[in-house]
Structure 1
Amino acid sequence: MRIGFFLRDLKIEGVQVVTLRLAETLVKMGHQCELITLNRAQELELASGILHHSLDIEKRVSFKKSKQYVEQFLSCLNKLEHNSDPFDAIFSVHGETNDIISYIDNPKLIHCIHNSDEYTYNNKNWFNKIKFKRKLSTKIKNKHVVCVSNGIRDFVKAKTDGCALSVTTIYNPFDIEKIKQLSFEEPIYQLPQEYILFVGRLEEQKNIPLLLESISNMTTNIPLVIIGEGSLEADLKQQAIDLGINHKVLFFPFCLNPYPIIRQAKLLALTSVHEGLPTVLIEALILDTAVASTNCPTGPAEILIGKYKKYLIDSESPEKIALHIDGVLVTETQVNEQSVIQRFTANIIGQQYLDVIKKEV
């Protein structure tokens, strides 16, 4: 099959990383995969056999302006398919790219949702809730939709009254053996001997101020290492100073191989306002690293099942989060239930994507 992925860029961010991992998996399974990006920003390395095309749109694509880029996308598609096999399917994976394909009546353009809107929806007034439902229904009408968690799927179904052609859950793929192998390389940063870890964008969604407050309430004296970049970096550094913990909060930028850092951490912490399917939680479990995550919509509760459920925090109180993390850190034996992790194996997920194309498109 010829399979495309339509995404914003190739920066080191969660959606881009898992999309590239899926493309690599499908190539290994004998299929042709191509990436179409809005712009040429690239930090990720492409595996052999994956082609990259760009629309060279440097401006931010908002929903209101997305219609003006439809012709540009279709023109690119026509050039790629001219004198060549047509795409069997193109999976659109970012909000901006989903906005563009929403104007195109073609079931081969599949709408992928990587983040939950449940939290923001619940905080809207009744009028804005109606507007949200109409907007989402317009975007996915007569489209096949892939959601990365059951929580997202259930929310989308509940708010759109069956206007999509199909709504399916497919988890993000993980090359478990490769992740384990990469984790034994040397970390590129000089790190403390023991540390709590956060990996992610330094943006409001990740709610890092809550994590910093929680760290300040802990009895265990252990540093926090933050791997990430974003608009809140200066504010977070100031908050650490205000809380009197700046001496034990270390900031580092994203890196291509975070797995040695994750493997060596005493615990990986997540206090997000909302997620889709938080990749870093699964990566930590693959590497036998303890985790602590608030039970935000959506993803953590689907990942942390079975014996891993002890890592889930049903509270947004910094005092209770601190108590929970302290409790996990003093536990000598951490959970290892690899049967739970096998759900996310790359080949299983790759086959589920192929099944969507065969059955639905």
Structure 2
Amino acid sequence: MVLARYLTTRGSARRVKVGDALAACTIASLPWNRQHPWLTGRPRRRQRHDVAAGFQEGHHQRPKASSRLMEHKQPPCRWAGVTCGRAHRGRVISLGLAGQGLEGEITSSLGNLTFLRTLDLSENSFSSRLPPLGRLGKLEVLDLSRNSLRDAILDGIANCSSLRILELSNNSLVGEIHPKVGLLSGLLVLNLYLNGLTGSIPPSLSNMTYLEELDLGYNNLSGSIPAEFGKLSNLLILFLGENSLSDGIPRCLGNLQQLKGMDLDNNNLSGKIPHTLGNLQQLIFMDLSNNNLRGKIPRTLGNLQHLTFMDLGHNNLEGDIPSNLGDLGQLRHLDLSDNKLKGIIP
């Protein structure tokens, strides 16, 4: 997939959006190291005991790191990666344990941290099911990416009504995307990239009208692209590549006036490329390659003056190459190979 190497669009866009979202939630960056105990959300006088018990229950690190955790002498709110609130002393509001070499199960006791706003357990080796987090009504950022979490996306996540960022990419999640995920109406980022998800894309995701990034790429999703996605007027990134999606590209995707990146490659999409995609004036990246698209290349694509990457290769496109594609002054990559195009090269 070319997009993984195309960092100008994917990398910078993700950093900007996530950074802005975190700033909007007034969540400070955390100093992370390898001495992170686990908290259960019970009264402060019992936290150290509960942390040790929770750690032994289902969480493991390298032996040396684990022994240091048990000998931790500072109050839990002073542990690196742990942030407690000022209004409610001793209540954990942020837990940042990314890249700590943790493995095993994620303890269900995390569900007791009812004041938690940020939970980042990314880049570890957890291999359990997703823990029940439905009680975390204040949670704004949930990042469990780059683990080995399995089973389906639980509908309990829908109870996290304050959630703004949901990162579950690079795991082993299977089953269908639960329609109740669409109840997260304030979500800005939904990233389920590189899992084993099946079934169709729930149209209910269109209820997340603040959504800026939707990445469902590299799964086993089938069915149509919901026409309701045309209502996602704040969407910047739409990545649905490397699935088994079929039918046509909805014309209403041309309503996504803020869109900067669109990746629909390596699916079973058919029909014509909608001329309405020429309305996406902010588009930088477009990959429709390796589908079954037919018909002519719309001349309206010549309106995409910010486009730097366009791949329409490996389809059944025919006719002439529109001459106005030569007016795309920002274009750096153009792939029209393995089609049925004729005529001269503009």
- Shared fold, TM over 0.5: no
Task: Provide TM-score, normalisation by structure 1.
Answer: 0.27
Higher helix proportion (structure 1 or 2): 1
Which is bigger in relative contact order (C-alpha 8 A, separation at least 6)?
Answer: 1
Higher strand proportion (structure 1 or 2): 2
Task: Provide TM-score, normalisation by structure 2.
Answer: 0.28
